[in-house]
Amino acid sequence: MSQPVVIVTGASKGLGLEVVKILLNKYSAKVVAVSRSVPQPLKDLAESSQGSVELVTGDVAESSTSERACAVALEKFGKLDGLILNAGTLDPLGPILKTDIKEWQTAFNVNFFSLVTMLQSTTPALRQSKGKIVFVSSGAATGDTQGWAAYNSTKAAMNSLCRTFAKEEPTIASFAVRPGVVDMQARLRELGPASMDAEEFKRFETMHKEGKLLPPDSPGHVIASFAVRGPIKLSGQFLNWNADELADFQKPTA
């Protein structure tokens, strides 16, 4: 198999950065890493990749960022095989009646409309490669956590977009993957006490204190693998990263 070329949004830290590493190490992929900033770990990774990582700095809410990412993939690597839509924001946290509509609009611009602009930019290239798209979703897509109304809504919209796009583009395999509760919840711990129901916040806080949050490379293996070799028969589905049917895509056990 030739080296796959994959765009990853939200690549600067956490799950996104881990996915880039897995694509490089497991699949010898070429990666276009999209992020608003370039922290040192991502910069170091790009510099050590021997030309396998191209950085695109920009806000995914701006359509020009999607256009540049696709152009870089085609100009630098000659094709596009996969797309991982990982960028997102948890804000605004708080009750529906107390959150500002402008913050809701920002959340939808980042978590949903950026997906649409990326699909519009990359679909011609993905048609040619019969490519794969991973929408990094959440249990929030079907959940009702108090204080998360904006986030819940954007992830539900994401899943709907994935289902519909899979019908419209049957040669492109599209998946919405739930990565579980990953150990990168600093923003939640900062804002949660003032924005969430106390019992619901306590559940997340307890998981953190007891070390029950997932390391990013666990769901990261599934996300990276689906962007390279996800099966078309699962296209359009909402999948849990640790489902039995995804065993072949999960991180190998020692």
Q: Rounded to whole angstroms, what are the CA distances from 75 to 71, 79, 80, 125?
A: 6, 8, 10, 12
Residue 132 lies in a domain: yes
Q: Which residues are catalytic?
A: 137, 151, 155
Backbone CA torsion sign across 137, 139, 140, 142: positive
pTM: 0.90
Residue 228 lies in a domain: yes
How confident is the model at residue 183, as a pLDDT? 52
The answer to whether residue 196 scores a pLDDT higher than 90 is: no
Any idea which of 54-68, 85-99, 172-186 has the lowest mean pLDDT? 172-186
Mean pLDDT of the 45-66 span: 97
Its domain, for residue 37, covers: 5-182+216-240
Backbone CA torsion sign across 1, 130, 6, 26: negative
Output b/e per residue, 110-141; b: 16+ Cβ within 10 A.
Answer: bbbbbbebbbebbbebbeeeebbbbbbbbebb
The answer to whether residue 2 scores a pLDDT higher than 90 is: no
Residue 205 lies in a domain: no
The answer to whether residue 85 scores a pLDDT higher than 60 is: yes
The answer to whether residues 86 and 8 touch, using CB atoms and an 8 Å cutoff, is yes
- What's the residue count for the chain? 254
How confident is the model at residue 188, as a pLDDT? 58
Residue 148 lies in a domain: yes
The answer to whether residue 76 scores a pLDDT higher than 50 is: yes
Instruction: Compute and round to an integer the Cα radius of gyration of the chain.
Output: 17
pLDDT tier at 214 (50, 70, 90 boundaries)? Answer: confident
Residue 251 lies in a domain: no
> Measured between alpha carbons, how far is 4 from 223 in angstroms, rounded to an integer?
14
The answer to whether residue 89 scores a pLDDT higher than 50 is: yes
Q: CATH code at 47?
A: 3.40.50.720
Number of domains in the chain: 1
The answer to whether residue 203 scores a pLDDT higher than 50 is: yes
DSSP of 63-118? HHHHHHHHHHIIIIIS---EEEE-----PPPS-GGGS-HHHHHHHHIIIIIHHHHH
